[in-house]
Amino acid sequence: MGRFELQMTADAVNALMLRAFPDAHADAMAKVVDLAPGRATLVRRYGEGMLRPGGLISGPNLMGLADTGAYALILAHVGEQLMAVTSQLTMNFLRGAKPGDLHAEAELLHLGRRSAVCDVRIWTESPDRLAAQANVTYALPLPKGAS
C-alpha cells in the first residue's frame, strides 16, 4: 500500500536480534522468514520446554512471540534502533495452541514518531485456526535533538 518503507532485510533483522539477545540459543529465537513493507512472518521452532500442563503451548511463550514479532517488524522499518521498548501488549487467547512450530504474522498498524502499534496473529496448526491475536505498542526513542 506504499505507506510503509523497509529499512532492513529479513537477514539483517535476524542478525540484529541475535546480537541483541546474545544469551539466547539461536534455535530458541523466533526468526523472520518473510518480510514486506508493513508485514513480517516469523517462525519459532517447537521445543518441549514450551508446553504447559495439558499439553498445550504456554501463554508466556505465545506472549513472548507476539512481543518479538512486533519488535522485529518495527526494527525492519526504523533501522538499527535497539532502544524501542514495549509499552503495551494485549493478548486474546483464542484456542489452545497444539504442539508444533509457532507461526506469527505481524502487521504494522501505525508507525509514528513516538510509538508504533502492531497486530500479531499466532498459530501452530493453520492460519485458519488462530491460537492467539495480540496488539503490541512500542515506545520509540526520540531522535537526538528532536523537540
Q: Report whether 34 contacts 72 (CB < 8 A).
A: no
Verify binding: residue 125, a second copy, rule CB under 8 A. no
Which three cell numbers, joined as nine digits, stand for 129? Answer: 485456526
- Of the residues 64, 78, 81, 100, which one makes contact with a second copy according to CB under 8 A: 64
Q: Which range in 6-14, 29-37, 58-66, 72-80 contacts a second copy by CB under 8 A? A: 58-66
- Of the residues 9, 33, 80, 92, which one makes contact with a second copy according to CB under 8 A: 92
Q: Per-residue x/- marks for a second copy, 25-44, CB under 8 A?
A: --------------------
Sites of contact with a second copy (CB under 8 A): 1-3, 20-22, 52-53, 59-61, 63-64, 67, 85-96, 109-110, 112, 114-115, 117, 119, 121, 127-130, 133, 135, 137, 139, 142-147
